[in-house]
Amino acid sequence: MKKLLFLFDTDPVPSVFDTVVGYDGGADNVTGYAAVAPDNVGALIDGCIYTRGGKDKQNTAIFVGGGNMAKGEELFETVKKHFFGPFRVSVMLDSNGSNTTAAAGVALLAKGRDLKGKKAVVLAGTGPVGMRAAGFFGMEGCDVTITSRTKERAEEAAKVIAKRFGIKVSGAAGATDEERAEAVKDANIVYSAGAIGVQLLPKSAWENNPNIELLADVNAQPPMGIEGVDAMDKGKDVGGGKLGYGALGIGGLKLKLHRECIAKMFESSEGVYDAEEIYALAKEMA
């Protein structure tokens, strides 16, 4: 019985990255479908849940991806609602790699230090990875703030995160170096989730700040999002006892986590892997 993974991608072209990791995670065959949406996914789900019976169903799994987390969440909910009784297969949500990337990053920080009660600031926190990271910090008991180009946009995203994870999140303006430096002034943890090749925080904004203990940056392309944190850093002392985590240092766990989630989907027909389940696994693996 072949292990079949079906990629339901919300983008115009199915993700090559997700296809490769699907195979590396143990699938015998990966089939990607593009531009999948709630109004056209029904027949695809039917093909997954009605073709195999009993324990054979665990050899079919669904991965919801694409670059837009809002669209991915809507599609993920539609897939789950379509299941009933024994007519279900395991399903995972990882739009834009945000669940696995954010889970890996925060899990590594949680391994390095106790996060409870710490103030965490997620720079450029309105994107998929930043919003998920903020949620995970909240789950760890942190006081969480996210930044965006405008305070209004940050506060709007903060409300979405708060509703999704049942936590309190604040929003702050972070359009300039000065605004971002002000935002991290009292922070213990700084997590940079901005676009590749964009520096969000110069070294001068954190190196002499006695409050900051942990710095993480998911940008792998120079210039780094946080100056002074290298892409390869993984719990490296970057000065004054501060621990730095770079994109490739985080990326190693992210890929292992992604592959492990794929493998676990084929252990039963009832697995559901969203933020909470993926983060719990990340903490085990960290």
pLDDT per residue over 112-141, tens digit each? 789 999 999 999 999 999 999 999 999 999
Tell me the C-alpha distance between 130 and 143, whole Å. Answer: 15
Domain range spanning residue 49?
4-93
Has residue 264 been placed in a domain?
no
pLDDT at 112: 76
Identify whether 263 is part of a domain: no
How many Å is the maximal CA-CA distance in the chain?
A: 62
Q: Give dist(CA 21, CA 17) in Å, integer.
A: 6
Q: What is the mean pLDDT of the chain?
A: 97
Number of neighbours of residue 160 by Cβ within 10 angstroms: 16
- Asked whether residue 83 falls in the same domain as residue 220, the answer is no
pLDDT at 82: 98
The single-letter DSSP state of residue 55 is: G
What pLDDT was estimated at residue 87?
Answer: 98
Torsion of Cα atoms, 247 then 251 then 257 then 260, to 10°: 170
* Pair (123, 171) in one structural domain: yes
Domains: count for the chain: 2
Residue 258 lies in a domain: no
pLDDT at 8: 98
Question: Which residues does 249 contact at the CB level (< 8 Å), separation at least 6?
Answer: 108, 231, 232, 233, 234, 235, 236
Q: Which two tokens stand for residue 176?
A: 């300039």
Distances (CA, A) of 11 to 38, 48, 72, 92, 137: 13, 21, 10, 17, 29
Co-location of 61 and 108 in the same domain: no
Is the residue at 16 inside a domain? yes
Instruction: Determine, yes or no, domain membership for 205.
Output: yes
Nearest alpha-carbon partner for 173 in 156, 154, 145, 193: 154
* Residue 274 belongs to a domain: no
Domain-terminating residue out of 59, 93, 127 = 93
Considering 60, 75, 93, which residue would you say is the last residue of a domain?
Answer: 93
Whether residues 65 and 135 fall in one domain: no
Q: What is the pTM of this model?
A: 0.95
Whether the bond into 223 is cis, omega within 30 of 0 = yes
Beta bridge mates, 148: 173
**Measured CA angle at 95 (ends 93, 99), to 5 deg:** 65
Q: What is the pLDDT of residues 231-268, one digit of tens each?
A: 999 999 999 999 999 999 999 999 999 999 999 999 99
Residue segments in the chain with a per-residue pLDDT below the cut of 50: none
What is the domain-level CATH number for residue 171? Answer: 3.40.50.720
